[in-house]
Structure 1
Amino acid sequence: MSQTRKVIITCAVTGSIHTPSMSAHLPVSAVEIADAAVEAAEAGAAIVHLHARNPLDGRPDQSAEAFAPIIDRIEKRSDVVMNITTGGSPFMTVEQRLRPAAHFKPELASLNMGSMNFGLFPMLERYQHFRHPWEARMLADSRDVVFKNTYQDIAHVIETLGGHGTRFEFECYDTAHLHNLHYFWREGLVKGPLFIQTVFGLLGGIGSHPDEVLHLKRTADRLFGTDYVWSVLGAGAAQLRIAAMAAAMGGHVRVGLEDSLWAGPGRLAKSNAEQVVQVRHIIEGLGLEVATPDEARALLALRGDGSAAA
Structure 2
Amino acid sequence: MAKLSDKVIITCALTGSVHTPTMSDALPITSDQIAEQAIAAAEAGAAILHLHARDPDTGRPSPDPALYMQFLPRIKQSIDAVVNITTGGSMTMTLEDRLAAAVAAKPEMCSLNMGTMNFALHPMADRYKNWKHDWEEPYLRNSDDGIFRNTFRDIEKIYRALGEEHGTRFEHECYDVGHLYNLAHCIDRGLFKPPVFLQMIFGILGGIGPDLDNLMFMKRTADRLFGNDYRWSVLGAGKFQMPFATQAALMGGNVRVGLEDSLMLGRGRLAANNAEQVAKVRRIVEEMGREVATPDEARQILGLKGGDHVGF
| TM-score normalised over the length of structure 2 | 0.97
Contact 1:71-1:308 within 8 A present in 2 as well: no
Name the CA distance, whole Å, in 2 between partners of 1:199 and 1:228. Answer: 16
The percent of aligned pairs where both chains have the same amino acid is 56
Classify the secondary structure of the residue corresponding to 1:139: helix
Deviations 1:50-70 (A, max 9, x none): 000000010001111010011
Contact 1:79-1:306 within 8 A present in 2 as well: no
Deviations 1:269-309 (A, max 9, x none): 00100000010011001100000000000000000235642
Structure 1 unaligned residues grouped into runs of 5+: none
| 1:120 counterpart = 2:93 | no
Contact 1:109-1:169 within 8 A present in 2 as well: yes
Partner of 1:230: 232
**What letter is aligned with 1:27?**
P
**What letter is aligned with 1:19?**
T
Contact 1:15-1:51 within 8 A present in 2 as well: yes
Classify the secondary structure of the residue corresponding to 2:166: coil
| 1:153 counterpart = 2:133 | no
**What letter is aligned with 1:18?**
H
Contact 2:39-2:75 within 8 A present in 1 as well: yes
**What letter is aligned with 2:228?**
T
Contact 1:82-1:307 within 8 A present in 2 as well: no
Partner of 1:86: 87
Classify the secondary structure of the residue corresponding to 1:116: coil
Contact 2:2-2:290 within 8 A present in 1 as well: no
Partner of 1:49: 50
| TM-score normalised over the length of structure 1 | 0.98
Q: CA deviation at 1:129?
A: 1.4
Partner of 2:259: 257
Q: CA deviation at 1:2?
A: 6.4
Name the CA distance, whole Å, in 2 between partners of 1:306 and 1:278. Answer: 30
Deviations 1:74-115 (A, max 9, x none): 011011000000000011111110100011110000000000
Name the CA distance, whole Å, in 2 between partners of 1:3 and 1:175. Answer: 30
| 1:170 counterpart = 2:172 | yes
| 1:37 counterpart = 2:38 | yes
Name the CA distance, whole Å, in 1 between partners of 2:205 and 2:59. Answer: 23
Q: How does 1:184-263 map to 2 (within 5 A)?
A: 184-263=186-265
| 1:269 counterpart = 2:271 | yes
Partner of 1:104: 105
**What letter is aligned with 2:106?**
K
Change (3 A) 1:164 1:3: closer
Classify the secondary structure of the residue corresponding to 1:133: coil
Contact 2:2-2:291 within 8 A present in 1 as well: no
Contact 1:80-1:306 within 8 A present in 2 as well: no
Name the CA distance, whole Å, in 2 between partners of 1:192 and 1:230. Answer: 12
Classify the secondary structure of the residue corresponding to 1:171: strand
Q: How many residues align?
A: 310
Name the CA distance, whole Å, in 1 between partners of 2:310 and 2:92. Answer: 25
1:290 aligned to which of 289, 292, 310? 292
Deviations 1:32-54 (A, max 9, x none): 00111110000000000000000
**What letter is aligned with 2:108?**
E
Name the CA distance, whole Å, in 1 between partners of 2:104 and 2:266. Answer: 38
Classify the secondary structure of the residue corresponding to 1:57: coil
Classify the secondary structure of the residue corresponding to 2:234: strand
Partner of 1:129: 130
Change (3 A) 1:215 1:306: farther
Change (3 A) 1:240 1:2: closer
Name the CA distance, whole Å, in 1 between partners of 2:7 and 2:277. Answer: 18
Name the CA distance, whole Å, in 2 between partners of 1:24 and 1:209. Answer: 30
Partner of 1:77: 78
Contact 2:195-2:302 within 8 A present in 1 as well: yes
Name the CA distance, whole Å, in 1 between partners of 2:144 and 2:134. Answer: 17
Name the CA distance, whole Å, in 1 between partners of 2:240 and 2:138. Answer: 26
Q: CA deviation at 1:235?
A: 0.2
Name the CA distance, whole Å, in 1 between partners of 2:42 and 2:308. Answer: 13
